[in-house]
Amino acid sequence: TEQEAFLNLWRTYDCLKGLEEAVFSEYQLSAQQYNALRLLRAVHPGSMPTLALGRRLISRSPDTTRMLDRLEERHLVIRVRRSENRRVVEIAITESGIQLLDSMSDRVVSMHRQQLGHLTEPELSAFVDLLKRIRQPHEAADGHWLND
């Protein structure tokens, strides 16, 4: 049934999230902060508007500004207002942010292996396809994830 499937999905998420939280806490980061840094690294040496970053985050959060404040306090990101439009705030990863991601890389790969390494490549591929299919009717048409 749908309820059984949902409850199993929720329980699985909780199990996997515990492993994630343990790793990211070693670096004083939340999963959301790590994801923001990862997205900003993808556009480095460029930047992106904070609203675009918010749309690309895995989990929607009403508190993106506060999350970015914490990253900026640690000198992991910088924010710049565009001179042609002061309302648009651009965000970019700093060299310190890149160094932090580099230092975490092996640990994150190991975490993902611990989470899902017991599945075969075909199982992982089928799992990803099924998750996309489940998520598709519930995401906004302009959602970043729909085209992945």
Residues in the chain: 148
Collapsed DSSP state (helix, strand, coil) of residue 81: strand
Phi, psi dihedrals of residue 63, rounded to the nearest 5°: -110, 35
| pLDDT in single tens digits along all 148 residues of the chain | 999 999 999 999 999 999 999 999 999 999 999 999 999 999 999 999 988 898 888 776 668 889 999 999 999 999 988 777 778 889 999 999 999 999 999 999 999 999 999 999 999 999 999 999 998 888 766 555 434 4
pLDDT value of position 61: 66
Phi, psi dihedrals of residue 48, rounded to the nearest 5°: -145, 150
pLDDT value of position 128: 95
pLDDT value of position 56: 85
pLDDT value of position 57: 85
pTM (2 d.p.): 0.84
